């Protein structure tokens, strides 16, 4: 007899055919004649109720081994349930405990704090909330791949280990095979990178964008979906040292089309998860953030407002609101400004474009005004920036001069510059942090709870 998953059985009609399933005991309850088991196998949030007649063939020794967390296999018939929580329940005539669970099991019935669950990250996917996060994360991953595949983008695996500091930006982790304790015996001047694995200093990549541009400038459209790293000493609920990024890149594409793609992307991924994971999303709406589903539905159906950075600054100044950081042309938008634009001024997602050059990275296309670049940020209510992107500078000389101004050595980027030397095209792309998006969709407060095993300052456990 084939085993069926709980999700399948819950969607089945009662019948005389024997069925089999297996999973872990979430709770069990013992009455005079009957034992009730709530069985979960991760296929959905809901448990399957198992009913065992103590005097029947499944009664006996195995029942004594039942415990929260025990692994069991069951067989029996699916019957209509008199309870109001489910349409069907399984009347078992066979029960086998394949894995016992002693009384010191950390996940007893009572609810645990997310802080505590982080200390047992190897067990937390057995809870309702973290099972739901795993399913939602998986659904969003699948939705993202489908979005780009449907549009002819190729998934590109850009390198994790890199010889360059790609954004001229962040703190990077160094990667080495030189034994640190032996280095310590040497004089400071004697670090000889020819003895290191790559023959030169190597780091963990902070972005795959530059390599994605290589593929977009050859095959028209590509996207990355992979891990990226920041060695920032930021101990906040929004920072991870290791996180997954999505970075599409599209040739023959200007900023306008890039904004279209980003808007379509946000709308599609949010619609998909609302459609595909209604039960898990209900859990987040009820237990994590009230009104979550409604706020996501609003994003999925409202057109995104598009305003230039210059307009945004003017609107913020005109708003009469007192900000901690008064808005000023030339300065980056703060989260308070982003939230004001989306929640108070426009009451919908907002795309801000044409930022001052000094706020943005060297590779963004310069506008004819000599002051701004073709950057865009997608801002959403509740969060602020969720996507950052730009049209890329496709003019060789302009790109070189921006690099030099940023203190980068163009020789290190010879291959990136070649893309502008040989058959250069207008091209654009954007990036988003996957965990930030999951946080936004689930309402989870702490980013460490939306990735299986978070890496942060002083934490690389499991």
The nearer residue to a second copy, 252 or 323, going by C-beta atoms, is 252
- Give the Cα separation of 156 and 349 in Å (integer): 29
Could you tell me the smallest distance in angstroms from the CB atom of residue 315 to a second copy? Answer: 34
Six token digits for residue 11:
């969607």
The nearer residue to a second copy, 188 or 320, going by C-beta atoms, is 188
Could you tell me the smallest distance in angstroms from the CB atom of residue 124 to a second copy? Answer: 8
Could you tell me the smallest distance in angstroms from the CB atom of residue 329 to a second copy? Answer: 33
- Give the Cα separation of 118 and 456 in Å (integer): 12
- Got the DSSP string for 244-291? EEEEEEEES--HHHHHHHHHHHHHHHHHHHHHH-HHHHHHIIIII-TT
- Give the Cα separation of 425 and 253 in Å (integer): 8
Q: For residue 230, what are the CA distances in angstroms to 18, 152, 201, 386, 462?
A: 53, 30, 17, 18, 19
Could you tell me the smallest distance in angstroms from the CB atom of residue 82 to a second copy? Answer: 28
CA torsion sign for 92, 93, 99, 102 is positive
Could you tell me the smallest distance in angstroms from the CB atom of residue 327 to a second copy? Answer: 35
Could you tell me the smallest distance in angstroms from the CB atom of residue 226 to a second copy? Answer: 7
The nearer residue to a second copy, 32 or 422, going by C-beta atoms, is 422
Assign 346 to helix, strand or coil. Answer: coil
The nearer residue to a second copy, 134 or 321, going by C-beta atoms, is 134
- Got the DSSP string for 278-326? HHHHHHIIIII-TTHHHHHHHHHHSPPEEEEHHHHHHHHHHT-PPPSS-
Could you tell me the smallest distance in angstroms from the CB atom of residue 295 to a second copy? Answer: 26
The secondary structure of residue 332, as a DSSP letter, is P
The nearer residue to a second copy, 56 or 125, going by C-beta atoms, is 125
The nearer residue to a second copy, 154 or 332, going by C-beta atoms, is 154
Could you tell me the smallest distance in angstroms from the CB atom of residue 154 to a second copy? Answer: 4
Assign 6 to helix, strand or coil. Answer: helix
Contact call for residues 215 and 233 (beta carbons, < 8 A): no
The nearer residue to a second copy, 253 or 333, going by C-beta atoms, is 253
- Kindly provide the residue ranges of all beta strands, DSSP E only, lying in 43-87, ordered along the sequence: 48-53, 71-80
The nearer residue to a second copy, 90 or 312, going by C-beta atoms, is 90
């Amino acid at each position: 007899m084939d085993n069926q998953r709980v999700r399948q059985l819950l969607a089945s009609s009662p019948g005389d055919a024997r069925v089999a399933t297996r999973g872990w005991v979430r709770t069990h309850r013992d009455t005079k004649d009957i034992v009730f088991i709530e069985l979960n196998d991760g296929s959905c949030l809901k448990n399957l109720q198992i009913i065992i007649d103590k005097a029947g063939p499944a009664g006996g020794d195995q029942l004594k081994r039942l415990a929260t967390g025990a692994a069991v296999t069951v067989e029996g018939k699916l019957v209509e349930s008199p309870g109001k929580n489910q349409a069907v329940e399984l009347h078992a005539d066979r029960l086998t405990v394949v894995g016992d669970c002693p009384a010191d099991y950390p996940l007893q019935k009572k609810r645990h704090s997310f802080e505590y669950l982080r200390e047992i990250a190897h067990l937390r996917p057995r809870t309702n909330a973290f099972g739901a996060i795993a399913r939602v994360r998986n659904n969003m991953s699948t939705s993202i791949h489908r979005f780009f595949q449907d549009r002819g983008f190729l998934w590109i695996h850009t390198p994790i280990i890199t010889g360059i500091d790609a954004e001229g930006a962040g703190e990077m982790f160094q990667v080495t095979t030189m034994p640190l304790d032996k280095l310590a015996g040497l004089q400071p001047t004697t670090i000889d990178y020819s003895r290191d694995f790559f023959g030169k200093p190597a780091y963990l990549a902070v972005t795959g964008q530059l390599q994605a541009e290589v593929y977009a400038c050859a095959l028209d459209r590509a996207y990355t979906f992979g891990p990226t790293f920041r060695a920032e000493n930021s101990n906040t609920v929004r920072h991870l040292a290791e996180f997954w990024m999505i970075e599409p890149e599209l040739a023959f594409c200007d900023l306008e089309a890039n904004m279209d793609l980003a808007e379509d992307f946000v709308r599609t991924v949010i619609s998909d998860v609302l459609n595909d994971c209604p039960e898990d999303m209900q859990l987040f709406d009820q237990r994590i953030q009230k009104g979550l589903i409604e706020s996501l539905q609003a994003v999925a159906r409202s057109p995104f407002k598009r305003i230039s950075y210059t307009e945004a600054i003017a609107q913020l100044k005109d708003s009469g609101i007192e900000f901690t950081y008064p808005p000023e042309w030339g300065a980056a938008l703060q989260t308070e400004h982003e939230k004001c634009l989306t929640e108070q001024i426009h009451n919908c997602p907002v795309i801000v474009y044409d930022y001052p050059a000094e706020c943005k990275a060297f590779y963004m296309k310069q506008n004819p005004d000599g002051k701004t670049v073709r950057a865009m940020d997608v801002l959403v209510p509740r969060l602020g920036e969720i996507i950052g992107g730009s049209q890329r500078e496709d003019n060789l000389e302009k790109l070189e001069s921006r690099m030099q101004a940023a203190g980068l050595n163009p020789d290190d980027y010879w291959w990136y510059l070649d893309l502008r030397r040989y058959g250069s095209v207008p091209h654009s792309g954007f990036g988003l942090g996957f965990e930030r998006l999951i946080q936004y969709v689930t309402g989870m407060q702490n980013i460490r709870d939306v990735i299986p095993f978070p890496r942060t300052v002083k934490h690389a456990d499991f």
